Structures are given as C-alpha cells and as structure tokens.
Amino acid sequence: MCHSTLIPSSIIVKTLLKNQAIVLRKKGKSYKEIRKLVPVSKSTLGLWFRSVKLSKIQLQTLTKKKLEGARRGGLARKLTRLKITQEIVKTSKVEVGHLSGREFWLVGLALYWAEGSKARVKNPSQGITFSNSDPKMLKFFLKWVLQVLKIPEQKIIFELYIHHTYYSKINKIRRYWADIFSLPLSKFDRIYYKKNRIKRLRDGLENGYNGLVRIRVLASTNLNRRVFGWTEGVCESCGVV
C-alpha cells in the first residue's frame, strides 16, 4: 500500500513567492520594487538572494536605482528644510514690525560698530567707511548715512574691490552694483584689484561673486568721532565698561 506525502500549502506558497522574488531580482528589481509584489520582509529577501548571482549589467542597474533613490530622498529632505525655513522667516518678519526713527538709528549704529572703520588712537583722522559684499546690508547702511547722518549724496563715494582674476568680468560686476543701488554706472569707476593669488574662480560670477563695495563719506573725521561717542554711550547704557 502506497502512502503519499502531502506538502503543506504554506510551504508551496512560500516556494512560489521565493521563485517569483528571484525572477524579479534577476531582472534588476530593487528590494523595494520586489516587496510591492512579494509581501515578505527585507531580511527574508536577503536570505533568498544569497545564492542569486547577478550579471554586471544587473548590478549596474541596481546601483543606478540606489543612487536615484538617494537623490530623490535628498531632494525631498531639502524641500522640507526649505519649507520650514520659509515659514520661520515669514513669522520672524512679522515680529519685527515697524522700526521707529530711534530704532533705525540704533540698528545702523550697531551695524557700523561691527563693520565700519573706527577712529583709533593711532589713526584719529579716520573717516566714515563701510565695506561689505552683502547687497542688503550695503543698501541699509547707505540709507542710514543719508537719513540719519544727513550726508549729501555728492559726499558719498563708492569703491569696488575685486580679485584680479575677475578682471574680464569687471563690466558685469559694475553693472550689478549700479543696479543694486539704482545709481549711474559712473559711480563705480573707483576699482581696486586684489593681487593675492587664488587657485580657481572661487564661486564664479554665476554663483554670486561680485566683489566687495566700500562706501566712503568724504570729510567725515569728526562725524566718525561722533559715531564712536554713540557706541560708547550704548556701552555705558548697557553697563558694558
């Protein structure tokens, strides 16, 4: 009398799934793609694929998919960070509100204290000069000079400092700053080239390099001394000695 051995249906199903997964793997499918069709864990797939040998082309296809997935993930995270940043900036802008005349004076004073030239013992005749490459900061300072210090426009000069490597780009750079300040191109005729060597064009004009602008106020030695007195007054008012 013959006895037949029945194979449990669960084993049959598992075998079919394994064979299906292996076929998909040999077609260059990723774990993520396979799991959409074969509902098993990644660890199970790892065990099933131990004996699966892939061709060079199949491996290249999988590598390409991994890189594309990483790029998509990186882009998604970047977009999320940008969205969060935009929301924070939007909220913060509202918190500032309207600056009073005194607040505007103090903000400009703090800015000059940080970035402007100082009257010192060794150089007591230093006038008002302010150097930076940030367009908004420069525009803010110029407005402060005109409205707070009451300096006539004809007493304000602009000096442009760039690396000599960018000599051929000077006309584009001059136009850039003329547009930023809404001033004639002739206002940026004072050009000074930095001679220090650099190995490459650091960021390139396309990526934001436009040199540095120095705003200078003519005949402003006593005014700079007055600004120094203001900063001393701020220190005393805050108990900084």
- Confidence at 13, pLDDT banded by 50, 70, 90: confident
How far is Cα 118 from Cα 227, in angstroms, rounded to an integer?
Answer: 9
Within a domain: 151? yes
Within a domain: 2? no
The answer to whether residues 231 and 153 belong to one domain is yes
Residue 3: the pLDDT is 55
The answer to whether residues 67 and 15 belong to one domain is yes
Within a domain: 230? yes
The answer to whether residues 62 and 173 belong to one domain is no
Chain segment 110-119, per-residue pLDDT in tens: 999 999 998 7
The answer to whether residues 134 and 26 belong to one domain is no
Rounded to two decimals, the pTM is 0.69
User: For the ranges 6-10, 22-26, 72-76, 199-203, which has the lowest average pLDDT?
Assistant: 199-203
Within a domain: 82? no
- Confidence at 72, pLDDT banded by 50, 70, 90: confident
Within a domain: 22? yes
- Confidence at 16, pLDDT banded by 50, 70, 90: confident
The answer to whether residues 152 and 213 belong to one domain is yes
Total structural domains in the chain? 2
Q: What percentage of residues in the chain have a pLDDT greater than 90?
A: 56
Q: Specify which residues 160 forms β-bridges with.
A: 191, 213
Tell me the DSSP string of the chain.
---PPPPPHHHHHHHHHHHHHHHHHHTT--HHHHHHHS---HHHHHHHGGGPPPPHHHHHHHHHHHHHHHHHHHHHHHHHHHHHHHHHHHHHHHHH-PPPHHHHHHHHHHHHHHHB----SS-TT---EEEES-HHHHHHHHHHHHHTS---GGGEEEEEEEEGGGGGGHHHHHHHHHHHHT--GGGG-EEEEE----SS-SS-GGGT---EEEEEETT-HHHHHHHHHHHHHHHHHTT--
Q: Is the pLDDT of residue 204 over 50?
A: no
Q: What percentage of residues in the chain have a pLDDT greater than 70?
A: 90
Residue 205: the pLDDT is 47
Q: CB of 143 within 8 A of CB of 101?
A: no
The answer to whether residues 59 and 110 belong to one domain is no
Q: Is the pLDDT of residue 122 over 50?
A: yes
Most distant CA pair in the chain: distance in Å? 120
